[in-house]
Structure 1
Amino acid sequence: MKASDVRAMTSDQITDELEKLKKEQFNLRFQRATGQLENTVRVRQVRRDIARLMTIAREMRAASAE
């Protein structure tokens, strides 16, 4: 997910995407704990996407407050 794609989203869409990624992160952690995780790179990608979404959401809130 690119930052430009996230910036084009509304705050509701960002919230929905964030919720979806957090569920995926939980499932990936569960798979890793049980030894069923095949794509280990996805854990890192999801973590970074969550951080990207949260950062841009915070930027949007700060811009609207000004």
Structure 2
Amino acid sequence: MSGSKGNLEVLSLEMSSIDIAVGMLYKNFLGDVGPAVRPTSVGIAITKQFGIKVITLLWLSYFNDTAE
């Protein structure tokens, strides 16, 4: 059972890294982040611009942490 918990922690860390990367990609190359930006819009924009299929991620935490 402890192995499963460790695997979940690693997966959580990897997803957090992906969220940060997607957030940086959007903010640095596609535009500013404002209240009208939605996860679906980010996914569509990244797919169109870079050909990367974005599955819904918890990327808002990145923007909330870097908003100031």
Q: TM-score, normalised by structure 1?
A: 0.43
Tell me: higher relative CO, structure 1 or 2? Use CA pairs within 8 A at least 6 residues apart.
Answer: 1
Structure that is richer in helix per residue: 1
